Chains A and B, each alone.
Chain A
Amino acid sequence: MIQYIVRRILQTIPVLIGVSILVFSMMHLVPGDPAQIMAGESAPQEQVDNLRERLGLNDPLPVQYFTYVSNVVQGDLGNSIRSGRDVGDEIGSRFWVTVELAFYSTILAVFIGIIAGVISATKRNSFADTGIMIVALFGLSMPNFWLGLMLIQWFAIGMDLPSWIPFLENTSWFKPSGWGSFSQIVLPVITLGTGSAAIIARMTRSSMLDVIGQDYIRTARAKGVKERIVIYRHALKNALIPVVTVVGLQFGGLLGGAVLTETVFAINGMGRLVIDSISARDFPVVQGTILVTALLFVFVNLLVDIAYKFLNKRIDLD
């Protein structure tokens, strides 16, 4: 196991080198000059030239890349072109915000997704099954910035409800923006988690249906094991393996895809940082953020692989 983990960690090195070269060349290939963008549309040439010189953008590209890489190896991600601040600091404060957001959303998605998936599978073709799958389809196809704005409208600004509904005359329960308190976390987590919940529900359903049809389930039932135990101990555990893979991928996707949710709810996370930095052609920040995200993604996938081992001892990691 340890050997496996070490090997996997070593494997991340070429991945990171690849990512850094890719991001570096892509950022420099797109049209747009950071000095010009920073200076703005009303800026004269002299100002742009000054900036370009100050930011070291006049060096040849390979020189810029090697300076960058040798600094990264020493733990220095460079300075932001826009603000001049240390990229490590820029990412640091936002990293945990995005990880928290993605983490809570994943928890929510797993909770709802698995329960809905199991109910759907065990009550196959029932009213509940059809209902859940229709809702899941909605969840999947709903753009999350739209859902976010609607949630703000309904539960932050609040709805005018008819007075005969008890306790509900005012639904402005949550805050429309920011991150930290419970009232700020709920809406973005629902916004971000809905799509994943739908995917997990559908995955759980099909995987459960597969497993339920297998011989050992019939054997368990024949032995007179209670249905609840058959489903939750025998079937679900095996059905979870593909679901865990999806959850891992979803978590990675949420890390990168949180940008719309972060923008709508004014959450100061990595997604917004990377988008703002791309618009400003702030190369060091984009490169740094993507490197960190790639690292995190690889790490989550490693955790997923280890989780297989817990779910099914027969899976050989080595």
Chain B
Amino acid sequence: MKTNKKWLLMVLAFVLSVFLAACASEPEEDSSSASGGETPSESGDQGGDLIIATDSDAVSLDPHMTNDTPSANVRINIYDNLVTQDENMELQPSLAESWEQIDETTWEFKLREGVTFHDGTEFNAEVVKANIERILDPEIGAAVLFMYNMVTEVQVVDDYTVRFITEYPFAPLPAHLAHPGGQMISKELIEEDYAAIESGEQPGSVINANPVGTGPFIFEEWKNGQSVTLVNNENYWDEPALLDSVTFNVVPEDLTRISELTTGNAHITTPLSPSDVAQVEGTDGMHVQRQESSSLAYIGFNMDKEPFDDVRVRQAISMAIDKEQIINGIYDGAGIPANGPLAPGIFGHDETLNGLEYNVEEAKNLLAEAGYEDGFSATIWTNDDRQRVDTATNVQAQLAEIGIDLEVEILEWGAMLDQTANGEHEMMVFGWTTVTGDADNGLYPLFHSDNLGTPGNRTFTVDEELDKYLDEARQTADPEARKELYSQAQEKLVELAPFAYLLHQEYLLGVRDEVKNLSQLPTQLLQLKEVYIEE
């Protein structure tokens, strides 16, 4: 009996301690919830502590080390580029006040004076040189090297003048410097990072742990996998931002992010899935914000495999797909039909381009001409993205009408990237975002024969004429001549039909009504400088 009682007591004590522990941990609640929705702002009427619920955590806060949207969305607030893009993808001065092409392979940038980094060091030509040289350094293995590998030298002319020498004439250089990879890091920090590499650390470890830029917000804290917090930089070289602080909270599940918005635990949720638009619009106190994007959703064909090596088959499939069905049924109207590969707003986009029209009869004729009057069977691959899976299923139904028997196969993302690069697919649902806003980035990797497989050309498109346009366009300085070349390239791409171009998606945000002045770039990056929270 005695031991029985002892045993019971032990269990009771144990249970009690657990509950006490649960209660005791209450005060340590994390910043995400502590700073809650409606914290009053300290800096007067326009300010506040903004909380953004995002689907994934930043990967690295070192701008040279990764090339992903969640990281870039945080970094754009900490760092500045020499050149920046506005909502219309037009280039605007930032840390560089002006720039000009001196000769075919030389660009000169005049830098802004009196800009200081968050660590108090000064921004000047030496900083630019150190940043670009770090990207070009093979020892660093920078993820954004591909954006700048045409640069052979950075010359410091004087404290506030810097020259970029390129290997070949490269017209889109200013656009490339506006890419998140061109964000300027404090030179002192770069040197510290090099010192850490000497003592056995990974490249970027110092910068990633304590990023220092010139941007409108200063890095405060990063709880891995959970949240990143930034605070206002009162000494910003331009008008300081209005918000007191910005917190990016990681909330992977779509519906939980919407709950965060509903309960006021978050002010913005990104991304918002098109299928959740109705729920956000139907709830008081919040709304959906839409932004045209520079992205393309497409179906790619493997041109190395039969029957997709026949241009008539590719054209037939392109013509048998009603894009409106996909846009309205799957994307809830959040997108515009794509005529070709480039979204409106991208430099080089041809407004007069005629895409292949939706025409089932013509599609059947083309298939018959190609010798497939009875159709054929094929497989279409997609990853487990909600919209892409639905697109594949929809296309399966649409193509059944011209006799094509399509099997939908869902692949895990990593496997899909790997196997499409190896050319194991027949058809695939995929996407592309032209991050620089320049046609070069939207066409060269995808369709040039130098880039077969992993580099981006997963349709294995090889066309001499197309290669010629793309090569010439990236080396031509005159913007009008470039536009002309890109028009020709786009016409060629409609005719070749390596993709069935589906749509240019709109980016969607769920936003609480008290958030004012929020804007988003066509590259999905949030512009927070002028945002404030209305009490």
Spell out A's residues near B (CB within 8 Å): 30-34, 36-48, 50-51, 53-54, 79, 82-85, 89-90, 93-94, 103-104, 107, 111, 149, 152-153, 156-157, 172, 175-182, 184-185, 233, 237, 263-266, 268, 272-273, 276, 279-281, 310
Contact = CB atoms under 8 A, between A and B. Distances in A.
B224 A266 contact: no
Contact of A264 (B7, B256, B441): B256
Closest 6 CB pairs of A and B: A32-B414, A54-B141, A45-B455, A181-B29, A176-B259, A266-B251
Q: How many residues of B sit at the interface, in one of the four size bands?
A: 35 or more
Contacts of B68: 40
Contacts of A42: 67, 432-433, 435, 441, 445, 456
Interface in B136-176: 138, 140-146, 149
A280 B474 CA distance: 33
21 contacts: A36-B414, A38-B143, A39-B143, A40-B68, A42-B445, A43-B143, A43-B146, A44-B146, A47-B143, A50-B145, A51-B143, A83-B224, A84-B203, A84-B205, A90-B224, A93-B224, A107-B18, A156-B263, A180-B26, A181-B33, A266-B251
Interface string B34-76: 0000000000000000000000100110000111100000000
Contacts of A46: 145-146, 149, 455
Contacts of B144: 47
Contact of A32 (B60, B146, B149, B418): B418
A295 B491 CA distance: 61
A50 to B, nearest CB: 4
B26 A181 contact: yes
A177 B432 CA distance: 32
Contacts of A178: 29-30, 32-33
A9 B485 CA distance: 71
A225 B419 CA distance: 71
B465 interface: no
Nearest to A267: B226
B252 interface: yes
A283 B445 CA distance: 28
Contacts of B65: 84
Contact of A182 (B26, B140, B262): B26
Contacts of A104: 18, 22
B303 to A, nearest CB: 18
A312 to B, nearest CB: 11
B131 interface: no
Contacts of B203: 54, 84
B18 A83 contact: no
Contact of A53 (B22, B67, B141): B141
Contacts of A172: 263
B33 A32 contact: no
Given A84-B205, A107-B18, A157 B414 contact: no
Interface in B237-276: 249-253, 255-256, 259-260, 262-263, 265
Which of A44, A89, A90 is most buried by chain B, counting CB atoms within 10 A of its CB? A44
A105 B433 CA distance: 43
Given A47-B145, A47-B146, A182 B256 contact: no
A79 B265 CA distance: 33
Chain B CB count within 10 A is highest, among A32, A51, A179, A310, for: A32
A180 B30 contact: yes
Nearest to B430: A41
Contact of B263 (A31, A175, A180): A175
A272 B225 contact: yes
Nearest to A233: B4
B329 interface: no
B370 interface: no
A152 B265 CA distance: 13
A84 B202 contact: yes
B454 interface: yes
Contacts of B223: 93, 268
Given A82-B59, A104-B18, A176-B260, A152 B255 contact: yes
A268 B445 CA distance: 36
Given A54-B203, A176-B259, A177-B256, 16 more contacts: A31-B419, A33-B417, A37-B414, A42-B441, A42-B456, A54-B140, A83-B60, A85-B208, A89-B224, A94-B225, A176-B263, A177-B259, A178-B29, A181-B26, A233-B1, A264-B253
A149 B254 CA distance: 10
